[in-house]
Structure 1
Amino acid sequence: MPSPADKEALIEAIYQAPLEPGGLSILVPSLEAALGARVGLFVKRQEGVGLLAGCSSSTALQMAEYGLHLWRHDRALHALDAERPGQIVLDTDLVTADERRKSPFYNDFLGSMDAERGVYASFLSEGGEVYYVSGQRSARCGDYEEDEVRLLDDLVPHLRRSLQTWRHLRRAAVERALASEVLDHAGMGVMLVNARSKMVGANSTAEACLEAAGLIIEDGHIRACDVRMERQLRRAIALATQPRAGAVTVELRASHGSLGVSLLVTPCRQQQLTGREPLATLLLPRVGQASTDLASFARAHGLTPAEARLLDALARGERIADYARRSGISPTTAKSHLRALFDKTGERRQADLIRLALQTARSSIEPAADRN
């Protein structure tokens, strides 16, 4: 049995596991030491059993055999009630010695691993899935003592909360990967930076977007080529990494061409969950390659063609005065279109309007062969 200090360290490791690259698998050695058994974490579904973290001394083939078909003969697993998470079951209460000798699962599979004493605890039941931890050890070690069962019972609520955090982070990671892929196809650069403008992550399109916007990476930090823009960029990142921060739009002049671009800086909410340093997400269109398809957005909000053209220009980062001059209309007319956009979209600030366009409009990239 672990000492009180070791038990406290184990509980701390349980909560740290979702934040580590190895996930829940980093818990296996500590759980095995505490229970004196091979320990695995699994999820039971209707179609089979999935492996969350395998026993340290079991092979991948053994884990696959159990997950694919042998679980059907695991009486302790079937004794876990999906409606009663936190239940603890000993397989010695369910299988006689004679039954064990005749069972391919207990005799051939577990017996070959010298694992004749099993303890099971379910720690989460959700959506038809039962998450459980299983410990298997040699009969020479004897049955599980009362203090060992009590230890497992004490760990169950911590495992439950840790798993919920791990699942949440996995879903968030999948969503980020999908969003990054979509933005890659749309020609949008996504960069993750800390409060000191240091690059933490980026999608594959980010480099081209940075170059087009007149930004550079210097010693791992995002920098603007223009001193004034550098101040604005740093201020936007500093604001976005503050508690309860909102989105900030920075107007950047591209290194070539007459149009500027809008760099959208938003807080990265995951840091609130993990407790790690605050981060900001930078969203940047690739100048000259990404064009925002606002047709469906314009129809949804009842925009006139003139209003839709202005919104497209603003989403690209063009200043309203430059747009008016390029379009051959007066600044007053352009501002009246902007007021109409505010009225129809419900926004009251140009930065919020741009953010709405960048976040909800569908983007398309012209094929390279069609560009002039």
Structure 2
Amino acid sequence: MAESSFLACIDAVYAAGLDPELWPEALGQVSEVTASVGALLIPVFPAEAIPLVVSERLEEANRDYGAGWAQYDSRVLASHRLALRPGLLVTDTALFTPEEIARDPFYQDFLRRHGLGLGAYRLIPDGTGALASVSLMRGFGCGTFDGDELLRVDRLSGHLARALGVNARLAEARRLAGTLAEAIEHLGTGLILLDDRGCARFVNASAHRLLGDGLDLSRDRHPVAHMPTERPRLAALLAAALSGQPTGPLLLARPQGAPLHLDAVPIHGRGAAADTLSATAGTRHAIMLLLRDTARSGPASTVDQLRQLGLSLAEARVADLIGQGQSPADAADALAVGMATVRTHLKAINLKLGLSRQGELVALVMRLAGWTRPDRP
């Protein structure tokens, strides 16, 4: 698969983040880059968090599913037994043995009749407390997903989470404010629109209140961190977003108090929301810099802060222990899991946080631990 196809898929996901009507098209591209025949975006909690979204290839199967087959879906009960958690990527081969699949009516009657085979599933938190599930289906007889395909699912998960988070925040703001322009201004999350040079073209009221403590705008309107050690990290976040390859949120240290939670979301695609935001930013290749004050929810544990950076709970626990200087073997013993599990989590941690060495993880955890101490000035 060409990297250009993967980047086009990311663009489609962010376009859907601004205009939910584009989700079916985005899921179609997700299917293509993961070698699946279709994808679904399913609300998990609360049930009304998002509407069910189905890529075009699965529409007929979805109608059949809703007409009666849902009660025979053995995957639901198996997922509950497995205690499926946000961030955990599960395949059908992890839920059932080949023998169980071979005699299961749901697989052999329903899925087979629609030309569908094995699936992969992941819970996606949107950053507002809601959960959705992305489900990918292989064609019948195509076997299970290979390592590269699952890695693409893993890479896409953070982008899906950000796009769903933008959906949720804009929907709530529009419900309270009315028009999109009013919603942007009164959004509870701080929002700065940056043009393709990284220059701020619009700052909403919530962002204005957060500027001046840890983050500010320079004379030429570029975001700048107050602490010199944080400036390369902020620059990397913005550069990645402007290039169309966002690296994920970061916690920006401040001279006083808890850090700022920052995320940079590219504005791509079409639709009323994208058009309004692009017009405000003065370019079709803008980004939204989203700001949140972590102090509002009180001091957070290191594990909680790692989860704010996009890690699952299991990954955050492993990262916390390794960051405190424990070896992978010690972490496995402390968490009562196998070494293979710890290695898998470390691979995901490095990918999500953009780390390449264990020393970088230790430095990050030490910084986060400093923010959780009650004696911090």
Same fold (TM over 0.5): no
Give TM-score, length-normalised by structure 2. Answer: 0.43
Q: Which has the higher contact order (CA 8 A, sep 6+)?
A: 2
Give TM-score, length-normalised by structure 1. Answer: 0.43
Higher CA-based Rg: 1
Instruction: Give the number of the structure whose residues are more often strand, by fraction.
Output: 1
